[in-house]
Amino acid sequence: MTATTTEQSTANTPGDVVVEVTDLTAGYLPGVNILNNCNLVARKGELIGIIGPNGAGKSTLLKAIFGMVQVRGGDITVNGESVVGLKSDGLVQRGLGFVPQTNNVFPSLTIEDNLKMGLFQDPKIFNERLEFVTSIFAEIGQRLNQRAGSLSGGERQMVAMSRALMMDPHVLLLDEPSAGLSPVRQDDAFIRVSDINKAGVTTIMVEQNARRCLQICDRGYVLDQGTDAYEGTGRELLHDPKVIGLYLGTLGADED
């Protein structure tokens, strides 16, 4: 399969690029690659959606960007500089935040202490960043003393995203923010993701709810067998007959 080329992709200048993945090959075990010549570009202020079948390498791509998977070929750049080989703490210093799908809070700690854990590199800006986080997640500010382990799945997701935002990242990587949530909580999660992006944070989101993901993203990538099979604006992919037939089924044609 060949990726589609969009006018939006070529209209932006190279200086807009924040994250670029080029011909990336990566995997967990020796000799077993999950990603094979995978490519992705995220420009400043964009919301990028990554969809595809189970096992396509979507979460592995985010983990590779965040230094959690061995890169065996290709390159990953942030603001034009290669970050291959850097550990997660170094990537946080370079403006990347990552929210994993599961085990994304410290359950024995309060919400406030979870947020402080996100600021271990720069604790002096806590009040400033708390004000920003609670402008998006107002509920967080009202429940700072509550233990994270007592929260629902949707509430934990809010805390996890808030903690990642505490270090004022330029780029936020989200691994399936709606996973395991009720339909109502899923809608809320997508609204919060849009709010984060509108606040100026370039966002790269992996999501199983492909239709909702494509509805809110600026551009999307369809991964299949570890490589980018299709790329386009969210609207283009929602209405692409091949993408609908292979990856969205009837969901792709339901609504914009």
Average pLDDT of 79-96?
94
Span between the terminal Cα atoms of the chain, in Å: 25
Give the neighbor-by-neighbor strand order of the sheet with 227-233. 96-99, 171-175, 202-206, 47-51, 219-224, 227-233
Residue 248 has pLDDT above 50, yes or no: yes
- What DSSP string describes 124-159? GGHHHHHHHHHHH-HHHHH-TTSBGGGS-HHHHHHH
Structural domains of the chain sorted by starting position, each given as residue range(s) with its CATH number in brackets: 7-249 (3.40.50.300)
Q: Which residues contact 196 (CB under 8 A, 6 or more apart)?
A: 136, 161, 165, 172, 203
Distance CA 75, CA 81 (A): 10
Distance CA 168, CA 126 (A): 11
pLDDT digits (tens, 9 = 90+) for 223-233: 999 999 999 99
Average pLDDT of 27-42?
95
Average pLDDT of 117-125?
91
Residue 99 has pLDDT above 60, yes or no: yes
Residue 219 has pLDDT above 80, yes or no: yes
Backbone angles phi and psi of 60, in degrees to 5: -60, -35
Using 50, 70 and 90 to split pLDDT, how confident is the model at 251?
A: very low
pLDDT digits (tens, 9 = 90+) for 37-71: 999 999 999 999 999 999 999 999 999 999 999 99
pLDDT digits (tens, 9 = 90+) for 137-194: 999 999 999 999 999 988 999 999 999 999 999 999 999 999 988 888 899 999 999 9
Residue 73 has pLDDT above 70, yes or no: yes
Cβ neighbours of 112 (radius 10 Å): 17
